[in-house]
A = this chain, B = another copy of it.
């Protein structure tokens, strides 16, 4: 259904984030002959590329006759240049949306059906409304184990797949929910020092104040092409990049952006998301860290065990060796919460500074130890000792520096301009911490979008504090955000309970 009448692109410079928008005059001949009105979803063709976009109708002189505007992301995806011509045609109904509707009504989806849905999502054919419907229909406990397996496989197939020299490729992942738990750069540095092939692709934050990719971006470039990434791994055994820049499981990145807007990250989707990324990145052995705590993402030991089992079953079915460890998630790890503040903690541990956060160090050593044992580099039961030695020797720090340099730069993290300390109003002992509220505080201060924003946490459980001691410091890059976070802190009780 191509329309032969062409329009000339005008770049209006409107950043709609991820959404393809086309702006057309209400009296445009194409709108009129095709019967388009506001919100019609159309196919836009430019040279040999095409995208699906939503129409916004312009009733002003923003556009001249014969011109069409495109949002910034739409221009980028079309690889269009100024004055390029486009044609616009009707979008055929997307058949896989019918499968999403069937899922709402309780249908169990087959792998083939999930593949159709994931394929259309990765091509950008779903609107935000349709994405939200798919996410909601498959949230909670609405995915069966075989659907999770099917979804995982479909996600792997939707994108590119990396291959590496050598048979065994290692990876690790923490399911999150624990602010400041930035073990990954330390673990990768230790494992790569020991000779494991460990090409790490991380995500940006979904609902947390920082993802590993956000933290690494403070120190180095994380948006590498696949060939750049391979070069880094050939040189250093490991890398620390953002998964989204290498087209692994592209449907996942699209889904994550909507999950973020809904502030949900449900079980089946999480497993499919994590394991598809690992499989697509070419991993053969993966350690999954599940922190458990009253206010962490997973709240009970029994829930963690269920999840562990599901991770292992799905892993097995897609050909991955998955080992799950369950860790303490009762409070934030380290001091910093937010990209730059967490990067400082990571460097402090790797540099063996005397005041480096001990909890972060111990946890990184534990996970690295598991990897060393899984790979046979260390005997059973001696992984932790070997990991600690590599860290103490300074080899791990040297490795991180080399990886950063290989990725294009190393930048020392620095503090944000705006800071406010929260002081204890009483003497006593820290008895309870609401980890979720602390994460929220860091987000309200601007993390992760403002990389220097966040919380410096100074009141771990059981710490003896005096009136006037600093419990935490809020950092922000804008005054408005600092005030906003502080207002939230003041409106809440029970964030840090001192008895």
Contacts and interface: CB of A to CB of B under 8 A. Distances in A.
Given A129-B129, A262-B133, A14 B62 contact: yes
Q: Which of A3, A101, A480 has the most CB of B within 10 A?
A: A480
Contacts of A71: 56
A217 interface: no
A26 interface: yes
Contact of A478 (B1, B12, B35): B35
A476 B57 CA distance: 21
Interface string A52-94: 0000111111100000000110000000000000000010000
A35 B442 CA distance: 13
Nearest to A129: B132
B34 A478 contact: yes
Given A135-B133, A450-B35, A480 B90 contact: yes
A33 interface: yes
A39 to B, nearest CB: 4
Nearest to A487: B1
B139 A104 contact: yes
Interface string A116-160: 000000000001111111011101110000000000000000000
B263 A3 contact: no
Contacts of A499: none
B262 A129 contact: yes
B1 A484 contact: yes
A23 interface: yes
A345 interface: no
Contact of A480 (B35, B61, B97, B258): B35
A14 B129 contact: no
Given A135-B133, A478-B35, A15 B59 contact: yes
Copies, count? 2
Contact of A17 (B13, B23, B39): B39
Interface residues of A, number: 66
A450 B60 CA distance: 23
Interface string A257-275: 0100111101000000000
A195 interface: no
B101 A263 contact: yes
A13 B59 contact: yes
B128 A129 contact: yes
Given A12-B62, A57-B15, A479 B33 contact: yes
Contact of A15 (B3, B26, B133, B481): B26
A59 B32 CA distance: 30
A11 interface: yes
A56 B129 contact: no
A106 interface: yes
A264 B102 CA distance: 10
Closest 3 CB pairs of A and B: A13-B60, A132-B132, A136-B136
14 contacts: A3-B480, A11-B60, A13-B61, A14-B60, A15-B26, A15-B58, A17-B38, A32-B478, A62-B62, A97-B263, A101-B264, A128-B132, A129-B129, A129-B132
